[in-house]
């Protein structure tokens, strides 16, 4: 029987000899992930049912990244719950401030996830790891508690939509633009509970950072997961800097069945911007040039990696942020933070008039380090622009890639990178 890459991974993690879309399956997991918002609820449920131990102290990751360093008493208590649980059960992969980073950038960076893995996380953007050729998906906190105990998760086998990106990317266009364009095309529920498989000439040319950005936002189209077949770029990434992850490089079979196949000519795709209050409100940056901004945010699990910071610094170097704009740059991990300092990127950001912050989810979810007031508008490299997402319900967030965010900070309005 011919299977998609997603079906192959799911089949390998169940006791069944065959599976089909729509079927419920009981899956073995490689990793169960929780953060300082979702894990405390899972821990509460874990203890409420009288569980005494976790299934494997090496296969649980606790990453307090949303409100850390703690912004207030409540967030400090949330983080403390993770710390206590990690200490009690001797969890290997617990990351305290100073070691922590935005979870979906941190775990691939340190080699905790890899090709062929099945990963669950009580965070919707867990689908990021599909960029490595893994099946990774977000779950609820009670399901995470069950995962802590059993090392398994119930799933329904998703159908797969294959997205094929033909042609060569234009300057200033990357993975963020491809996924924003795709979500704009199919809508926020266009891939509801489906695996989104990204293929084509343009995908093969993408760096791992761009692939992470694409798979990260599969959930914004309703996807159960996003996935890219691993290749030489994947292999070089997971073998870099002594990573020990090897994994299994699955590929879709010829003749595998898809719900549908959608093709794009990337030569026609410009840098994209998504207007409030849905990621699907996307269009070319030129459509939004009259939108003035109060804040520009460069960071998050979507675009806080070193390549994103390099792009932003390349535009900002020798220039000044508009006096009416706050520019907030948040590297996604400690390693990225350190690399940005070594390369002089942090100095570029500071000299331009920006703020260079410690790794954190920060303002992405309305946490801290850049909350918007009523009536304020921001352009951000984050992944969601729902009403009130970054602060006041009457504020507005426009999603973009790092180049557009940097150019907009300089111009004081949404701008194409070529304008500066």
Percent of the chain with pLDDT over 90: 98
In angstroms, the CA 344 to CA 327 distance is 17
Whether the pLDDT of residue 411 is over 80: the answer is yes
Pairing of strands 24-28, 152-156: antiparallel
Among 40, 101, 107, residue whose Cα is nearest residue 66:
101
Calculate mean pLDDT across residues 214-238.
97
Give residue 244's pLDDT band: very low, low, confident or very high (50, 70, 90): confident
Q: Quote the CA–CA distance of 337 and 305 in Å, as a whole number.
A: 9
241 pLDDT above the threshold of 80: no
Residues contacting 333, CB < 8 A, separation 6+: 101, 102, 105, 106, 109, 304, 359
pLDDT in tens, 287-302: 999 999 999 999 999 9
The residue to which tokens 């699990």 are assigned: 301
**Average pLDDT, stretch 341-352?**
98
Assess whether the region 5-263 and the region 272-419 belong to the same CATH fold: yes
pLDDT at 67: 93
Q: What pLDDT score was predicted for residue 339?
A: 97
Q: Tell me the pLDDT tens digit for each residue of 309-335.
A: 999 999 999 999 999 999 999 999 999
- In the prediction, which pLDDT does 352 show? 98
CA 357 – CA 360 distance, rounded (Å): 8
Q: Global pTM?
A: 0.95
Distance, in Å, from the CA atom of 211 to the CA atom of 247, rounded to the nearest integer, reads 18
Q: In what order do the strands lie in the sheet with 31-35?
A: 93-94, 60-63, 31-35, 118-121, 135-138
Q: Contact 180/280 with Cβ under 8 angstroms?
A: no
Give 5-263's CATH code, choosing from 3.20.20.10, 3.30.499.10, 3.40.50.620, 3.65.10.10.
Answer: 3.30.499.10
Output helix, strand, coil percentages for the chain, rounded to the nearest 5.
40, 20, 45
Model confidence at 19, pLDDT cuts 50, 70, 90, reads: very high
Percent of the chain with pLDDT over 70: 100
What pLDDT band is residue 127 in, cutting at 50, 70 and 90?
very high
E strand segments, 127-227: 135-138, 152-156, 159-166, 194-199, 225-227
Q: pLDDT value at position 243?
A: 81
Around Cβ 206, how many Cβ atoms within 10 Å? 22
pLDDT digits (tens, 9 = 90+) for 371-403: 999 999 999 999 999 999 999 999 999 999 999
Predicted pLDDT at 332: 97
Q: Choose between 284 and 242: higher pLDDT.
A: 284
DSSP letter string, 352-416? HT-EEPPSS-GGGGT-SSSPBPTT-EEEESSS---TTTTB-TT-EEEE--HHHHHHHHHHTB---
242 pLDDT more than 80: no
What confidence score (pLDDT) does residue 259 get? 97
Q: In the chain, what are the domain boundaries?
A: 5-263, 272-419
Would you identify the CATH topology of the domain 272-419? Aconitase; domain 3 (3.30.499)
| Mean pLDDT value across the chain | 96
């Amino acid at each position: 029987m011919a299977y998609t890459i997603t079906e192959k991974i799911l089949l390998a993690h169940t006791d069944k000899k065959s599976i089909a879309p729509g079927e419920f399956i009981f899956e073995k997991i490689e990793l169960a992930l929780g953060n300082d918002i979702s894990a405390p609820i899972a821990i509460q449920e874990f203890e409420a049912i009288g569980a005494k131990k976790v299934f494997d102290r090496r296969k649980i990751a606790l990453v307090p990244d949303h409100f850390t360093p703690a912004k207030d008493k409540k967030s400090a208590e949330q983080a403390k719950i993770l710390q206590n649980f990690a200490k009690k059960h001797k969890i290997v992969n617990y990351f305290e401030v100073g070691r922590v980073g935005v979870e979906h950038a941190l775990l691939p960076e340190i080699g905790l996830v890899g090709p062929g893995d099945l990963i669950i996380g009580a965070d919707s953007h867990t689908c990021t790891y599909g960029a490595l050729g893994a099946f990774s998906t977000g779950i609820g906190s009670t399901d995470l508690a069950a995962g802590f105990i059993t090392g398994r998760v119930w799933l329904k086998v998703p159908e797969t939509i294959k997205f094929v990106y033909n042609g060569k990317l234009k300057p200033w266009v990357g993975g963020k633009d491809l996924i924003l364009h795709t979500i704009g095309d199919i809508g926020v529920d266009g891939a509801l509970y489906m695996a989104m498989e990204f293929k084509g000439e343009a995908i093969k040319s993408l760096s791992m950072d761009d692939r992470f950005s694409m798979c990260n936002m599969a959930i914004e189209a309703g996807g159960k997961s996003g996935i890219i077949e691993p290749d030489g770029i994947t292999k070089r990434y997971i073998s870099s800097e002594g990573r020990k992850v090897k994994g299994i490089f699955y590929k879709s079979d010829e003749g595998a069945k898809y719900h549908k196949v959608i093709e794009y000519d990337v030569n026609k795709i410009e840098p994209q911007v998504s207007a409030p209050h849905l990621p699907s409100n996307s269009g070319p940056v030129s459509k939004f040039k009259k939108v003035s901004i109060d804040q520009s945010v460069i960071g998050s699990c979507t675009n806080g990696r070193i390549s994103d910071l390099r792009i932003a610094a390349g535009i900002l170097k020798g220039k000044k942020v508009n006096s009416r704009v706050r520019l907030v740059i948040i590297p996604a991990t400690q390693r990225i933070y350190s690399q940005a300092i070594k390369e002089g990127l942090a100095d570029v950001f500071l000299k331009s008039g920006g703020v260079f912050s410690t790794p954190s989810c920060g303002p992405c979810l309305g946490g801290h380090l850049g909350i918007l007031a009523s009536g304020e508008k921001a352009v951000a490299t984050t992944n969601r622009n729902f009403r009130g997402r970054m602060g006041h319900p009457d504020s507005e967030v426009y999603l973009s890639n790092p180049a557009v965010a940097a150019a907009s900070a300089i111009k004081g309005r949404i701008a194409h990178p070529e304008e500066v």
